[in-house]
Structure 1
Amino acid sequence: MTKIFFLGECMVELRELDDSTMGHSFAGDVYNSAVYMKRCFPTITVSMITAIGRDRLSEKMLSRFKSEDLDTQFVFQHPSKVAGMYFIETDSAGERRFTYWRNDSAAKKVVQFLTDDVVEQLTAADMFFFSGIPLAIIDEDSRDAFWQKLARLKQAGVKLVFDPNYRAQLWASKDAAIEQFNKAFQISDIALPGVEDLSVLYGIASAEEALDFCQQYQLEEMVVKNGPQSVVTQIGTERHSHQITPVTNVVDTTSAGDAFNGVYLGARLSGRSVFEAVQLGAKAAGTVIQHPGAIAPLAAFKQAMSEVGI
């Protein structure tokens, strides 16, 4: 059975419903990708690796994982920490602004739960996905141990997938982020960078430059996302530019790249070609941004994906 692990942080998402009322849901870049993969490819075992608390919201979060058919064997509950939280606002163009409360987030402690026995169980996976956000939030004194655990997975034949999702406010400095991102690129087999993230960190201005930059790491598969303009891929020496049809009804751009990542990887794990995987990922991203919040309504999402045979 095909299996993938997503390591990262899921947070409580707050959104204003009216002047006096807030609604909440759950979101986080790797969690979003996991949800969209599972919705499109239900035969893949999709597992979350994270730490949450024992508070009421953490319990509701765990229930939400299960309702999305995600495997929760490695969702650990910290005895004293809680789930992180953020408030999201969107402007008329669907662009986002976030306010975070994550200083006491249990997900910062996830590495301490990755014992030798747990890592041995993770070697049964086909893929292991992580992003720049868990790299930023895990305790600094746990990072060396994190890289050692990933090296064990790679040695066991697990494909490591990295999305360099950069959030400046999570890092002490740009240099600190670059150091960790370089290590991630070096150990990974597949990279899914966005031009915007690499532009800020490395001064890269185009998808082609991003692929040229990634060449130094001898990655097996590179997929560069450039917003609504295009997706550029390189497998071995074969480089292709895939045109994307822009969506006109943009409500909220939250999670567009996450949806692309999850559906693209699900398609590749299911034996689809790179061209098919990009088109399916783009359809997922284009669907998600037409709905508020990171997780689109199940019925609307499945209806849209059925139009492309998923």
Structure 2
Amino acid sequence: MNKIALMGECMFELSSVKDGLLKQSIGGDVYNTAVYLKRVFPSVDAGLFTCVGHDSISDSMLEQFNAEGLNNSLINQSDNLIPGAYLINTDDEGERTFVYWRDNSAARQVMKNMTHAQAKNLEDVDMFFFSGISLAILPEEDLSAFFELVTKLKSAGCKIVFDPNYRARLWQTPAKAKQAFEQSFELSDLLLPGVDDFKQLYQLETGQQIQAFLASYSIDEVVIKDGPQMVTCIKGSQTYNIEITPVNHVVDTTSAGDSFNGVYLGARLSGMTIEESVKLAAQAAAIVIQYSGAIVPKQSFTLSRPAA
């Protein structure tokens, strides 16, 4: 069985619905990625590498992880911290804004609270995924320990996957983000950037510019997402430009990139080609953006892995 660990934060989610009401759920970029991966590829062993608390919200999170088929063996529980929370406001075009309460979230202390059992369970993972948000929430003094862990995993043959997912408000300065990102590029085997990430941080506007920028790094596979129009993939000397069919009815783009990432990684872990993986991942994202919130109800997410 292929095994992937996804490092990051799951939070308590509040999203606005009709008449000023709020819907409660859970979400977070890495959690969303794990859920959609597991829904389409249930045979992949997928689990979050994170920290939660011993409170009722954490308990309900762990129950939901189990309900989604995730492996909870990489999760630690803090005695004195609880999960973070966020509120989503979505406009008429499906674009969203967020308000966060995460400064004291348990997930920020995942490296400090890492147990021997977690470290042991990481030894046999085939793929390790993290994002720019995963990095941004870590205290600065924990970044060196995190990169030591990633280096150790890579040396043991684990495939390292990074999605830059740049959120300026989470970083003290752009320079600190660049430093962490460039360490991640050095370690990455598979990179999943969006054009917008590089536009904000490096003022690069196109997939071609990003491809040129990344040429100095030894990244085996790069998947550049350019909104609803195009995905550019680079594998060795081969470049694939894959057009995406835009969705006419967009409700909420909150988890578009996360669902794409999850299904793409599940597809690649399961032996599908790059083009097959991109097309399936784009189908997943097309479903997700037609529903509100990060996680589409199971009965509405009808995508399944194509028969071999």
TM-score normalised by the chain length of structure 2: 0.97
Between Structure 1 and Structure 2, how many residues are aligned? 308
Alignment partner of 1:243 is 2:236: no
Q: Are the counterparts in 2 of residues 123 and 157 from structure 1 also a CA contact under 8 Å?
A: no
Question: 1:292: which partner in 2?
Answer: 292
Q: For 2:226, give the aligned amino acid.
A: N
Matches within 5 A, 1:127-138: 127-138=127-138
**Structure 1 residues 76-225: aligned runs within 5 Å:** 76-115=76-115, 118-225=118-225
CA deviation profile, 1:184-203 (whole Å, cap 9, x unmatched): 11111110000001111111
Q: Partner letter of residue 237 of structure 1?
A: S
Tell me whether 1:228 sits opposite 2:238 in the alignment.
no
In 2 relative to 1, CA 3–214 (structure 1 residues): closer, same or farther, beyond 3 Å?
Answer: same
Instruction: State the Cα distance separating 1:309 from its structure 2 match.
Output: 5.4
Task: Report the Cα offset of residue 22 of structure 1.
Answer: 2.3
Q: What residue ranges of structure 1 are gaps of 5+ in the alignment?
A: none
- CA distance in 2 between counterparts of 1:306 and 1:178 reads 37
Indicate conservation of the 8 Å contact 2:40/2:304, yes or no.
Answer: no
Structure 2, unaligned stretches of length 5 or more? none
Contact 1:119 1:153 in 2 (8 A): no
* Residue 55 (structure 1) aligns with: 55
Task: In structure 2, give the amino acid aligned to 1:41.
Answer: F
Partner of 2:30: 30
Cα RMSD, aligned residues only: 1.4
User: Is 1:52–1:77's contact at 8 Å kept on the other side of the alignment?
Assistant: yes
Contact 2:78 2:113 in 1 (8 A): no
Q: Quick check: 2:76–2:114 contact (8 Å CA) kept in 1?
A: no
- One-letter amino acid matched to 1:89: N
SS at match of 1:128: strand
Q: Distance in 1 between matches of 2:62 and 2:275?
A: 35
Q: What is the alpha-carbon distance in structure 2 between the residues aligned to residue 243 and residue 255 of structure 1? A: 20
Deviation at 1:16, TM superposition (A): 2.6
- CA distance change for structure 1 residues 190 and 139 in 2, over 3 Å: closer, same or farther? same
Find the residue that maps to 1:217 and give its secondary structure.
coil
Which residue is 1:266 aligned to?
Answer: 266
TM-score by length of 1: 0.96
Which amino acid in structure 1 is aligned with residue 64 of structure 2? R
- The one-letter code matched in structure 2 to 1:84 is G
- SS of 2:130's equivalent? strand
Cα distance between partner residues in 2 of 1:22 and 1:248 = 26
Residue 103 of structure 2 corresponds to residue 75 of structure 1: no
Q: Secondary structure at the match of 1:119?
A: helix
Distance 1:136 1:225 in 2: 21
| Aligned residues with identical type, % of pairs | 46
Letter of the aligned partner of 2:215 in structure 1? Q
